[in-house]
Structure 1
Amino acid sequence: MPNTEPMTQRVELATVMDRLAVDGLITEYAVAVDDGDWEAYRGLFAPAGRADYRSAGGIEGDARQVADWLAESMRLFPMRQHLIVNRRLRFGILEQDTGDTAHVQADYVNPMRFAQDGAASAAPDFVCGGRYTFGLTRTYDGWRLSEVVVREKWRRLPEPAATR
């Protein structure tokens, strides 16, 4: 009877390495948005990668278009901090090779601080939350985003100042 243990161990190790790489890519996504590093943001996407922020009042388009829109709209929020949690990962099949695609569904909470005169203010936070869907593709350069879809479920806006 052939010993399949070394092959099984290699497959399991490869799966663990892919999980770590996908998790790292999702973290890099959050850091790029929070830090306003739009060049890094664009670099996370596969050449045909797209993002859809329409449920949060944004746009849908290719990574360049969306990065340009984010760069402009995030000026309102000089302080932002994504928290992406509850990541559920599934690997898929592309061209008959197991593991060439991945699908991640993850919840997020995103507190942001409004700008006042171009800087972070003491104004109350704007906080939103929802769920991301990330589509990923294995490329020669590693895992890249093929799709990002934001499904905003809730938001809390600052309460208006009390009138006297």
Structure 2
Amino acid sequence: MTQRAELATVMDRLAVDELITAYAVAVDDGDWTAYRGLFTADGRADYRSAGGIEGGAGQVAGWLAESLTLFAMRQHLIVNRRLRFDVLEHDTGDTASVRADYLNPMRVAADGGPTAPDLVCGGRYAFALLRTSQGWRLSEVVVEEKWRRLRAESAPAS
């Protein structure tokens, strides 16, 4: 591999990493316009394993906007990212796939203040990406929730 090809691969890896991070930030911040903008025009997401829906990015963004109002705080951590570049139409590097684990603690919105219960879940994402004229975009996101826990915090010590 030439230095030019190696540099291009590094730049693509950084761009893909930025896209995955932008996905987590958009969900955590409830920025559904940004969320939709991360996908290709025909991009899809599948949250069925976590009790959600599967559909186009716009439809799923609407469902997320409604269902995540239950949570006053979300902090999505996407880790252990494994990236592969794939071939499309006899060229290299047009598509990519990322398998990554996630940990997602969320604070339930309640009038009880800091004693409100937390929901914590974890699992794995499968991201499919496509290089477009606007840069890398998500063509598919599949969530594989592996576990979840709902717990109430302990009362503060007196």
Task: Return the match for 1:108 from 98, 102, 113.
Answer: 102
Identity %, equivalent residues: 77
Q: Larger deviation: 17-26 or 7-16?
A: 7-16
Q: TM-score, normalised on structure 2?
A: 0.93
Q: 2:65 aligns with which of 50, 63, 71?
A: 71
RMSD: 1.7
Deviations for 1:22-66, whole angstroms, at most 9, x for unmatched residues? 000000000000000000000000011000000000000000000
CA deviations 1:49-89 (Å, max 9, x no partner) are 00000000000000000000000000001200000000000
Pair member with larger Rg: 1
Match 2:8 to one of 14, 38, 56: 14
Seen in structure 2, the aligned counterparts of structure 1 residues 64 and 47 have a Cα distance that, compared at 3 Å, is: same
Q: Distance in 2 between matches of 1:153 and 1:85?
A: 15
1:48 paired residue number: 42
TM-score of the aligned structures, taking structure 1 as reference length: 0.90
- Whole-angstrom CA distance in 1 between matches of 2:114 and 2:73: 9
Question: Structure 2: how far apart are the matches of 1:80 and 1:26?
Answer: 16
Counterpart in the other structure of 1:26:
20
Mark the runs of 5 or more structure 2 residues left unpaired by the alignment.
none
Residues 86-127 of structure 1 show CA distances to partners (whole Å, capped at 9, x for unaligned) of 00000001111100000000000000000115x965312100
Alpha-carbon contact 1:77-1:120 (below 8 Å) kept: no
Q: Which runs of 5+ in 1 are unaligned?
A: 1-6
Correspondence for 2:77:
83
**Matched ranges for 1:116-135 at <5 A:** 116-117=110-111, 121-135=114-128
Render the CA deviation track for 1:125-155: whole Å, top value 9, x for unaligned: 1000000000000000000000000000000
Cα 1:159–1:78 shift into 2, 3 Å: closer
Q: Give the match's secondary structure for 1:78.
A: strand
Structure 1 runs of 4+ aligned residues shifted over 4 Å read none
